Structure 1
Amino acid sequence: MARKDELGRYGEDCAARYLIDAGYRIVERNWRCPDGEVDLIVEQARQVVFVEVKTRSSTKYGHPFEAITAEKLSRLRRLAGLWCTQAQVWPERIRVDAVAVIAARGREPVIEHLRGVF
C-alpha cells in the first residue's frame, strides 16, 4: 500500500474516532457507487451527515480543506441523495461536513471539523 493511501486511511480512522467521541454514530465507511465515494456517513440526533475527510502530513502545500472544491461538495450532495435512496433512509435532515486531519510524524494528529459546508 502506498504511503498516501496509508495516510488517508489513518486520517479516516482519526476522523471516525473524533466523531464517535463527539457523539456521532458511524453508519457507513467508504460507501461507493458508480458516481463516487463518501468517506464517512454518520448519524446524530436524527440527522444523517455525509463527511469528506482530507488528510495531510503538513500544511506545506496548503491546508487539507483547500482540497475540497465546490465541485467535490456538489458531488457529495448528489451522493447523499443516492445513498438515501439506496439505503431507503429518509432522515429529517442531511448535512455535508468536512474533517481535516493534519498528521505529522511523531505528533498527535490535529483535527478540524467544519459542519454544514454545503
Structure 2
Amino acid sequence: MLNRQQQFGKSSERLAVDYLKRRGYRILETNYRTPQGEIDIIAQEKGTIVFVEVKARSSRRFGSPKAAVTPAKQRKISMVALMYLKACDRIDARARFDVVAIDTAPGSPHIEVVKDAFNLAYG
C-alpha cells in the first residue's frame, strides 16, 4: 500500500502524462527503472526522445518543483537515459531532458513543462 507521499507522486505523474499527451507527446514508457535509477516518463515529440522528470509540490515550504531537479538528480537521469537509448539501440537518436513542474498550492494544479531543462550531465 502506498503512503500519502507516494500517492501524491503517482497522481502527479498521471497528471503529467495526461498533460503531455494533450500537447502532442507520445508516451513510450512510464517509471522506467534500472538498478541505477528511474525516469518518470519517456516520450517522443516530433522525432525527439524526451526524458521527463516530474516534480510536484503541494506547498512552497521546500521550494519550487523546478528547483528540486538538482545536479545530482540530473546526473542520475542522464545515466539512466543513456542506458535506455543503448537498450533500445537508439544511441544516435535526438534526445532532450524536460521537467514537468506541478504546483498544487493553493487550489487547482499549475503545470509547467520546461523543455530542454538541462543537458546530458556527467560525473
Tell me the TM-score normalised to structure 2 length: 0.88
The alignment partner of 1:78 has SS state of helix
Q: Give the Cα separation in 1 of the matches to 2:51 and 2:93.
A: 14
Deviation of the 1:44 alpha carbon: 1.0
- Per the alignment, residue 12 of structure 2 pairs with 11
- Per the alignment, residue 110 of structure 2 pairs with 110
If asked which structure has higher relative contact order (CA below 8 Å, sep 6+), I would say: 1
- Per the alignment, residue 100 of structure 1 pairs with 101
Deviations 1:38-60 (A, max 9, x none): 00000011100000001111223
Q: Give the Cα separation in 2 of the matches to 1:52 and 1:42.
A: 11
Deviations 1:37-94 (A, max 9, x none): 0000000111000000011112232111121101111221121110011122346310
Alignment check: 8 A CA contact 2:60 2:105 kept: no
Q: Which moved more, 1:40-49 or 1:66-75?
A: 66-75
Q: Which moved more, 1:67-76 or 1:46-55?
A: 67-76
For residue 24 of structure 1, what is the amino acid of its counterpart? Answer: Y
For residue 21 of structure 2, what is the amino acid of its counterpart? Answer: I
Deviation of the 1:104 alpha carbon: 4.1
Q: Which moved more, 1:87-96 or 1:42-51?
A: 87-96
The alignment partner of 1:61 has SS state of coil
For residue 113 of structure 1, what is the amino acid of its counterpart? Answer: V
For residue 69 of structure 2, what is the amino acid of its counterpart? Answer: I
The alignment partner of 1:13 has SS state of helix
User: Hey, which bits of structure 1, 4+ residues long, moved more than 6 A?
Assistant: none
Identity of aligned residues (%): 37
Is 1:62 the counterpart of 2:63? The answer is yes
Deviations 1:7-42 (A, max 9, x none): 100110111111000100000000000110000000
Alignment check: 8 A CA contact 2:82 2:91 kept: no
Q: Which consecutive residues of structure 2, in runs of 5 or more, have no partner in the other structure?
A: 119-123
Q: Which moved more, 1:53-62 or 1:86-95?
A: 86-95
Q: Give the Cα separation in 1 of the matches to 2:25 and 2:64.
A: 25
